[in-house]
Structure 1
Amino acid sequence: MSGQLVFDELGTPLRETTFVVFDLETTGGSAEADAITEFGAVKVRGGEVIGEFATLVDPGRGIPPEIVTLTGITNAMVHAAPRLEAVLPAFLEFAAGSVLVAHNAGFDVGFVKAACRRLGYAWPKSTVVCTVRLGRRVLSREEAPSCRLSALAALFRATTTPIHRALADARATVDVLHGLLERVGSLGVQSLEELLDYIPEVTAAQRRKRTLAEDVPNEPGVYLFRGPSDEVLYVGTASDLRRRVRQYFTAGETRRRLREMVALADRVDTITCAHPLEAEVRELRLLAAHKPAYNRKSKNPRGGWWVVLTEEPFPRLSLVRRAREGALGPFRSRGHAEEAVFALQEGTGVRPCALRIPSSGVPGGSACALAELGRCAAPCVGGQSVEEYEPAVVAVGELVAGRNLDVLARLARGLAEHAAAERFEQAGVDRDRMRTLIRALDKGQRLAALATVAELVAARPDSLGGWEFAVVRHGRLASAGVARRGVAPMPVVEALVASAETVIPEDGPLRGAPAEEVSVVLRWLDKPGTRMVRCSTPWSEPAHAAARWRPWLERADHARTSLLPRD
């Protein structure tokens, strides 16, 4: 079967694509050290010229003699020309929304990117086509021993001869581009997306695999690559399943492990979804269920770390994999969890040792070095009773639950004392531990607040005048759907609620929901424009949540010197 696309698979037809073919003249070959002396650009669409842009540029320096000889541009010619500060924004406006084309595009695009960095303009991340690369892909060595612009212009009988002047070279490149597009058109390349896929080398085996995408719909959802034994090799999401799956069978996919995966694949299964939130949640669940060998995303939704208080007369902080009520987390790594433990021990007085201590202590024993340093009240040798130790335990619980923030204030005072005493290294360590603790508290409290709500229905406007809906129960996505433009939304909501998954809450701060799924749902709810349709109980965060410390956290993240003097 042919690998050519049918009409409904085409992306942007080449005849409807606007190209801005441009060329630069410069004072040398380094985008960082040299300067632009001339811009030339031609805007074309459907084979017709619809605009031109050309100007000399004052480089603010002398033009080397060898460059004058090559281009004919002299210092006198650019003396009264505008500076790059005036030319660059005009060129970016001329090229906006178009595909950039240049002969040896890396050179010209590199100079424009460097100019954007220096002058504070955002590079528009335009699609770029290089006629040198396209020429080497299309033309044989016998037909075109050289892919220099002058050689290709002669081959395609360009109406303009390139003379190392920007506008003339851009006009010649237009004719070369049109000649090359005629060649690839005869090979079935009809859209911009196909052109970009075609330019790099693609093996015959990759092209044959493209038939696996033939029955994939142009819908949002999840795709699964399956191997020869029907095993799931890889899971991903896409807003357009067909377009995304096709990319795996082109040279656009350069990752070695995924090329290896495609070579093994025998089938692609898809699950269409109502909207991106449903696709992302389904992906997480499929990753957990199948643990595909070629995915690097988390395949263990309950693989995070939590900090809990042990159940003993003198509780200590312990790291566990499964949360229970009052746990702090989740943490992605054990190291971050340990940092939070150190901060909690410092701020509350919870003992740092791992001994199991009876309620009466161990008479006759000797305290450890931490007690001598004043970091522990030595309950192990009777230095502290259960009643005297209890406030430290309560402080941890109150902080995690969002009822009291005194621990954070205490840690902040400790930082200030270290800074005043010029103990900058210790202050830096404590500051970073405090940052980790605040971030974990804030995230955990927000996730727990959402997981507490038995049922929540939210809506987001789509891009076509309709609505996307999500039914969330105890932090899990229980149902998802859409009401297209013109469809009454509330009957859709009622149908989604009636058919939603039943979620039975479990013990623990997230009521048994995987932390990653609750995080994904929360991010969707937090997006601007999301509206609450109904909520079984008020969805609110604790009155003394760690969110109050976000300004401190922002300063710590972005301007640490405002918190501690520079060492």
Structure 2
Amino acid sequence: MDSPSQLAFDELGTPLRDTTFVVVDLETTGAPPGGEGITEIGAVKVRGGEVLGEFATLVDPGGPIPPQIVALTGITGAMVSDAPRVERVLPAFLEFAAGSVLVAHNAGFDTGYLRAACRAHGYAWPRTPVVCTLRLARRVLARQDTHSFRLSALARLLGARTEPTHRALDDARATVDVLHALLERVGPLGVHSLEELLDYLPDVTPQQRRKRGLAAHLPERPGVYLFRGPNDEVLYVGTARNLRRRARQYFTGSEHRGRMREMVALAERVDGLECAHALEAEVRELRLLAAHRPAYNRRSKNPRKAWWVVLTDEPFPRLSVVRAPRDGALGPFRSQAAAKLAADTLAGAAGLRTCTLRIPAEGADARPCALAELGRCGAPCAGRQTTAEYAPSVATVTELQAGRGDSALRLAQRQLDDLAEAEHFEQAARRRDQLAVLVRAVERGHRLAALAAIPELVAAAPDGSGGWEFAVIRHGRLASAGVARRGVPPMPVVDALVASAETVLPDAGPLHGANPEEVGILLRWLVRPGVRLVRTARPWAEPARGAGGWRPWLDRVATAEALEALETVG
């Protein structure tokens, strides 16, 4: 019988012969990585020992090349004067390397420059494994085998067909030969897959390697995995499209996060909860995070308990920020500060009072505050406003909350325009940002509430293989999930899912008791391209007179904010 730490044949992951490597080398000016300084990029794409393509270009480094670098590489300022800048080269290189494993000799140097360039010019660095031939050589070769681990010394020792010349493409070609020679040496040691190669690298602790058998029983299916500690406590929760493969990565060199290594050291067991598809896995992860609050999940440290804005129940209502939603509440907001900002903006537009005095229906004789003197409050506290005179302000807010009208937003826009016309531009910009927070919250709240109001909705998404993924949603909660593979009649599957779905009893509030984050997950899935509604208990419709019509205004605001940010950076 195999030992627990030995992977079975079908668990080996991606065989090295089927892995596409992009071996890269850079020449630089020697300046610290910061988005500039690269003078040449060379890369070779290989799979199964066969060269699939090459990438080579000189790069304008954005500054002078020191004489000692010119002497080393032979690359002069004249050679790069007409070369493209790195921001023009990056898209082509990232496309060339897409989906491949990056390889470099002293990989931290090369990837450090490339990461810095991507960060400086707004490109996303690909989340791909990186293999360093320097570290691999130090792991494979003993000191008596070689006096040096420099690329030139390894190329001579291992019989590389290309001699390194301190030019990027030549050095990348030499690194390809070094990589293949090193892989031949680790094969007899049981390293046959990419995962095992990453596991073999020195930064994997023996304790991590010993525990990789904890993931052996997990299915190669989508779902949720739970790492459990010595007292059966849940340490970490995550989702995966392939449970076994994802959980096994925590025991290999592909896991670099210190907190996760600490978690793996504590883990005694990995449980898997198989799910029908990725949507069900995402929802179940959210529920498990709320139930267990695992120590190593950052999301569980600050669970997203929403905040709401409500009208108080008194003769002269005011807006209050609360935790528990009730019918007519505005939200949800992710933070108390955002809810308070939206409440102040809405109160200022509608003319609601902001003081916390308890004012009787017949009025009072308190001294008016400064807002009354500025004309921003009718001063019911001083008896200057009756309940009937105050009622239109309350109606303006309730209409916005219910989606029956947007007069409150138009009043806020008018105040904003007045400030701009008076050339109070900084104050106008602040009001614009405050109004944007309010509009986004109202629009999102209406969209979530529209979905949560439906007693039952069944939707289907193509699975990419000719089949369908189904979700039964009841009052904003995932009540059932399943699939109909290609060739399986879908409607009997739908009927079975509906019959076995969780019973959901609606509660008070705009979302009928549903978790705002879960409703948001379901909404994002429903509006994906290709998702179809199978049946619904009532029409799915959002308010016609809510904040949805303000989407063009929000887009203009976002554009203005982006331009202001660029001007600030410049």
* Structure 1 and Structure 2 fold alike (TM over 0.5): yes
Against the structure 1 CA distance between its residues 26 and 378, is the aligned structure 2 distance closer, same or farther, given a 3 Å change threshold?
Answer: closer
Q: Tell me which residue corresponds to 2:493.
A: 492
1:347 pairs, out of 346, 349, 353, with: 349
CA distance in 2, matches of 1:303, 1:84: 47
- 1:288 and 1:300 in contact (8 A); partners too: no
Q: Aligned to 1:470, what secondary structure does the other structure show?
A: strand
CA distance in 1, matches of 2:113, 2:411: 53
Against the structure 1 CA distance between its residues 4 and 145, is the aligned structure 2 distance closer, same or farther, given a 3 Å change threshold?
Answer: farther
- 1:4 and 1:188 in contact (8 A); partners too: no
Q: Tell me which residue corresponds to 1:273.
A: 275
2:178 pairs, out of 176, 179, 182, with: 176
Deviation at 1:66, TM superposition (A): 3.6
Letter aligned with residue 465 of structure 2: L
- 1:223 and 1:237 in contact (8 A); partners too: yes
Is 1:307 aligned with 2:309?
A: yes
Q: Tell me which residue corresponds to 1:131.
A: 133
* Equivalent residue pairs, number: 563
Q: Tell me which residue corresponds to 2:517.
A: 516
Deviations 1:176-220 (A, max 9, x none): 111221233233222123323433512222222222112111111
Q: Tell me which residue corresponds to 2:189.
A: 187
Q: Tell me which residue corresponds to 1:334.
A: 336
Q: Tell me which residue corresponds to 1:228.
A: 230
Deviation at 1:223, TM superposition (A): 1.2
Is 1:453 aligned with 2:454?
A: yes
Q: Tell me which residue corresponds to 1:386.
A: 387
Deviations 1:502-558 (A, max 9, x none): 111122111111111111111111111110111111100011020111121222223
Q: Structure 1 stretch 1-10 or stretch 477-486: which is displaced more?
A: 1-10
Deviation at 1:403, TM superposition (A): 0.7
Letter aligned with residue 274 of structure 1: A
- 2:199 and 2:209 in contact (8 A); partners too: no
Deviations 1:388-438 (A, max 9, x none): 111111111101111111111111111111122222333233222211111
Against the structure 1 CA distance between its residues 74 and 233, is the aligned structure 2 distance closer, same or farther, given a 3 Å change threshold?
Answer: closer
Q: Aligned to 1:352, what secondary structure does the other structure show?
A: coil
- 1:555 and 1:562 in contact (8 A); partners too: no
Q: Aligned to 2:298, what secondary structure does the other structure show?
A: coil
Q: How do 1:386-425 and structure 2 match up within 5 A?
A: 386-425=387-426
Structure 1 stretches of 5 or more lacking a match?
Answer: none
- 1:301 and 1:515 in contact (8 A); partners too: no
Deviations 1:36-59 (A, max 9, x none): 35x654443323445556677898
Structure 2 stretches of 5 or more lacking a match?
Answer: none
CA distance in 2, matches of 1:23, 1:442: 49
Letter aligned with residue 433 of structure 2: D
Q: Tell me which residue corresponds to 1:207.
A: 209
Q: Tell me which residue corresponds to 1:153.
A: 155
Q: Structure 1 stretch 374-383 or stretch 529-538: which is displaced more?
A: 374-383
CA distance in 1, matches of 2:510, 2:124: 43
Q: How do 1:236-275 and structure 2 match up within 5 A?
A: 236-275=238-277
Letter aligned with residue 238 of structure 2: G
Is 1:552 aligned with 2:514?
A: no
Q: Structure 1 stretch 543-552 or stretch 116-125: which is displaced more?
A: 116-125
Is 1:532 aligned with 2:533?
A: yes
Q: Tell me which residue corresponds to 1:374.
A: 375
Q: Aligned to 2:404, what secondary structure does the other structure show?
A: coil
- 2:37 and 2:62 in contact (8 A); partners too: no
CA RMSD of aligned residues (A): 3.2
Against the structure 1 CA distance between its residues 66 and 296, is the aligned structure 2 distance closer, same or farther, given a 3 Å change threshold?
Answer: closer
Q: Structure 1 stretch 545-554 or stretch 16-25: which is displaced more?
A: 16-25
Deviation at 1:467, TM superposition (A): 0.5
- 1:458 and 1:534 in contact (8 A); partners too: yes
Against the structure 1 CA distance between its residues 333 and 302, is the aligned structure 2 distance closer, same or farther, given a 3 Å change threshold?
Answer: closer
Letter aligned with residue 377 of structure 1: G
Q: Aligned to 1:471, what secondary structure does the other structure show?
A: strand
Against the structure 1 CA distance between its residues 69 and 403, is the aligned structure 2 distance closer, same or farther, given a 3 Å change threshold?
Answer: same
CA distance in 1, matches of 2:434, 2:251: 46
Deviation at 1:333, TM superposition (A): 0.7
Q: Aligned to 2:299, what secondary structure does the other structure show?
A: coil
Q: Aligned to 1:559, what secondary structure does the other structure show?
A: helix
Q: Tell me which residue corresponds to 2:483.
A: 482
Aligned-residue identity in percent = 66
CA distance in 1, matches of 2:524, 2:313: 34
Deviations 1:249-269 (A, max 9, x none): 234333333333222222111
Deviation at 1:125, TM superposition (A): 6.0
CA distance in 1, matches of 2:221, 2:424: 58
Against the structure 1 CA distance between its residues 55 and 394, is the aligned structure 2 distance closer, same or farther, given a 3 Å change threshold?
Answer: closer
- 2:403 and 2:545 in contact (8 A); partners too: yes
CA distance in 2, matches of 1:4, 1:15: 20
Q: Aligned to 2:444, what secondary structure does the other structure show?
A: helix
1:36 pairs, out of 16, 19, 39, with: 39
Letter aligned with residue 418 of structure 2: E
- 1:202 and 1:251 in contact (8 A); partners too: yes
Letter aligned with residue 299 of structure 2: K
Deviation at 1:63, TM superposition (A): 6.5
CA distance in 2, matches of 1:65, 1:302: 57
CA distance in 1, matches of 2:452, 2:311: 21
Deviation at 1:232, TM superposition (A): 1.8
CA distance in 2, matches of 1:222, 1:314: 50
Q: How do 1:3-14 and structure 2 match up within 5 A?
A: 3-14=5-16
Q: Structure 1 stretch 380-389 or stretch 398-407: which is displaced more?
A: 380-389
Deviations 1:304-355 (A, max 9, x none): 1111111111111111111110000111111001001101111111110111
Against the structure 1 CA distance between its residues 55 and 202, is the aligned structure 2 distance closer, same or farther, given a 3 Å change threshold?
Answer: closer
Against the structure 1 CA distance between its residues 505 and 245, is the aligned structure 2 distance closer, same or farther, given a 3 Å change threshold?
Answer: same
Give me the TM-score of the superposition, normalised by structure 2: 0.89
Q: Aligned to 1:345, what secondary structure does the other structure show?
A: helix
Against the structure 1 CA distance between its residues 253 and 466, is the aligned structure 2 distance closer, same or farther, given a 3 Å change threshold?
Answer: same
Against the structure 1 CA distance between its residues 385 and 321, is the aligned structure 2 distance closer, same or farther, given a 3 Å change threshold?
Answer: same
Letter aligned with residue 257 of structure 1: R
Deviation at 1:106, TM superposition (A): 4.1
Q: Aligned to 2:21, what secondary structure does the other structure show?
A: strand
- 1:288 and 1:299 in contact (8 A); partners too: no
